[in-house]
Chains A and B, each alone.
Chain A
């Protein structure tokens, strides 16, 4: 299956902004995170198709997954 993976803030350093990824069926968010060389602790916000997701969320073909470190503003 194919997903769109978007990275933000410091996660872009040495990586990319956005990329199409070919993944085996049943891949979850955690596997993608670890595959990027990130740890679970570094993940602040997971968004799956514009809604909050979990590390355990299973991905489907056509999903957009966005990963943010813990950041904030106001």
Chain B
């Protein structure tokens, strides 16, 4: 039977608990948000002992289901002040699931200045004081933990940014190549830092594995599901070939590629940073065009990017990072962007928040537009070292805007707006405005239908249908985020009729239950409402469901589009 592992950092004790009946049917985001809502006072300081950091694998994680190896991390966010769930690949989710750990809850905070590591294994969690690895970057931590405990050890770690409790700090997860995936958004690395935990190791030895109630039914459904993923042109061909970065050229053509801190919708240097150019560069330098972030991923949207000498620079090199440091900062040097991506992994800082931040920092005059060398210096010499300037930058886009008196600050609920301009792709603007997570494209990815013709088509430049589109996608995403599935299963799920029923059949076969499509939709609705209720109690109300004013007053070329939704139209989102 699955258990809850609970760690109290105030008195340095650990417990193994039965799973309460109300949590039994939950996993991933549904579970982390339920636990945070039940146990964290909404008005607490996110970096205080009252906050809790919760890790939960999804409902299907640890099974042979394709693309089911995502781990959810949840807490009250020090960046947004609201509830947060951020999910990532890597090896940890499957190891936790196979150990029978439904959730790992970390609460309290040490009373002294001592730092610790947690060792998770089949018999529970051991807390040990940690001195040796303090101050190190994430790559060095992973190497050292492997040397200490063995190559197979799973690792969750924070870099200097998390230790310094910067609100853009992330939590890094070791991937199958001992590199890094990230619980990127919302400053969860600072929450882990506030608990004075440098890393969590996971020992899979003796793990009982995941028991499937109806193995035959599961096998059949898993086959149908995997076939849908491989048959769909986006998940089966586009993503493995070009990665997510194929979007640079598409958004540029559509006039929705935010450029120069969201002042223009197209970037002159787009071709140099595009997915097509990246693909050819990777192939020519002997990197890996496709690569999975976790065992069992059959989409393989990740890649390994090498330098001119064929040496590893980075992996998991995503569109949002490349857009942000590229178009939004007017940098057209993909090698420098790759170097920055690697540095952000090592420092342990969210590559979306930090990229948006650099656009604001350039507007503030901290560095010049397009100055990638100074950007690299700011990462290594200021942010990684925690200088006063580094701490301002490490607080994200909102922090820099406030400190330097910038008014064009692309954030919602203080979280940086990602790679799609909400004026020229209006559906995603509704998602940014209403998401319980702050500006977050993944929570209701309308780009699929606004731009990519997946799941039908809704004109990105008109207001019609956007609220409904975003609502339906946010509900579905909340449910998918609870299964441990990669969000890219949404592409086949939107177009191939057998895909979603197969996903539900796998859940039913795994637990011996009989969920219907309606049950899954209701789960998604329940999660969104639960998260919103937490946010409202934390002081985030409908007046925070708004985009910054400049989107209303500054038309963006080439379509000269403005954000023209009324407050009432946005608030319609929550009518469900």
Question: Measuring CB to CB, which residues of chain A are less than 8 angstroms from any residue of chain B?
Answer: 6, 8-10, 12, 17, 44-45, 47, 50-52, 66, 68-74
On whether the beta carbons of B254 and A44 are closer than 8 Å, the reply is no
Can you list 30 contacts pairing A with B, beta carbon distance less than 8 Å?
A9-B241, A9-B242, A10-B237, A17-B271, A44-B453, A45-B452, A47-B254, A51-B461, A68-B250, A69-B233, A69-B237, A69-B238, A70-B234, A70-B238, A70-B452, A70-B453, A71-B233, A71-B239, A71-B250, A72-B234, A72-B246, A72-B247, A72-B448, A72-B491, A73-B238, A73-B242, A73-B245, A73-B246, A73-B301, A74-B442
Contacts of B234 in A (CB 8 A): 70-72
CA distance A68 to B452 in the complex (A): 9
Chain A CB count within 10 A is highest, among B238, B448, B487, for B238
Q: What is the CA–CA distance of A74 and B451 in the complex, to the nearest angstrom?
A: 12
Contacts of A68 in B (CB 8 A): 250
Q: Which B-chain residue is minimally distant from A41 (CB atoms)?
A: B233
Beta-carbon contact of B445 and A74 below 8 Å = yes
B454 touches A6 (CB 8 A): no
B452 touches A9 (CB 8 A): no
Q: A9-B238, A71-B238, A74-B487 are in contact. Are A45 and B301 (CB under 8 A)?
A: no
Q: State the CA gap A45–B451 with chains docked (Å).
A: 8
Encoded as 1 (CB less than 8 Å from any A CB) or 0, chain B from 389 to 421 comes to 000000000000000000000000000000000
Q: Is the CB of A50 within 8 A of B559?
A: yes
Complexed CA–CA distance, A53 and B245 (Å)? 23
| Contact of B319 with A73 in the complex, beta carbons under 8 Å | yes
B426 smallest CB distance to A (angstroms): 13
Min CB distance, A31 to chain B, in Å? 20
Q: Which residue, A44, A52, A70, has most C-beta atoms of chain B within 10 A?
A: A70
**B253 and A70 form a contact (CB under 8 A):** no
In whole angstroms, what is the CA distance A51 to B460 when docked? 9
Whole-angstrom distance from the CB of A25 to the nearest CB of chain B?
25
New A-B contacts (6) at CB < 8 Å, excluding given A12-B276, A44-B452: A50-B254, A50-B559, A72-B488, A74-B247, A74-B441, A74-B442
Beta-carbon contact of A6 and B233 below 8 Å: no
B82 within 8 A of A: no
Contacts of A72 in B (CB 8 A): 234, 238-239, 246-247, 447-448, 452, 454, 488, 491
In the bound complex, residues from chain B placing their C-beta under 8 Å from that of A52 are 453, 457, 459-460
A6, chain B: closest CB distance, angstroms:
7
User: With an 8 A cutoff between CB atoms, is B154 at the interface?
Assistant: no
**CB of B58 closer than 8 Å to a CB of A:** no
* Chain A residue with Cβ nearest B243: A73
**In the bound complex, what is the Cα–Cα distance between A8 and B279 (angstroms)?**
12
- B488 and A74 contact, CB distance less than 8 A: yes
B253 touches A47 (CB 8 A): yes
Give Cα A29 to B276, complex, Å: 23
* Residue of B233, B239, B442, B460 most packed against chain A (CB within 10 A): B233
Q: Are B254 and A9 in contact (CB under 8 A)?
A: no
Q: Is B255 positioned at the interface, with any CB of A under 8 Å from its CB? A: yes
CB distance from A52 to the nearest CB of B (A): 7
Encode contact with A along B539-573: 1 for CB under 8 Å, 0 otherwise: 00000000000000000001100000000000000
Within 8 A of A (CB), among B259-275: 271, 275
B249 interface hit (Cβ, 8 Å): yes
B253 / chain A contacts, CB cutoff of 8 Å: 6, 8, 47, 50, 66
Q: In the complex, which residues of chain B have a beta carbon less than 8 angstroms from the beta carbon of A74? A: 244, 247, 319, 441-442, 445, 447, 487-488
Contact B233 A70, beta carbon cutoff 8 Å: yes
Residue from A8, A70, A71 with most neighbouring chain B CB atoms (10 Å):
A71
In contact, A73 and B247 (Cβ under 8 angstroms): yes
8 Å CB contact of B244 from A9, A50, A73 = A73
Contacts of B233 on A, CB cut-off 8 Å?
44, 69-71
A26 to B247, CA, bound (A): 31
A64 CB to nearest B CB, Å: 8
Closest to B452 in A: A72
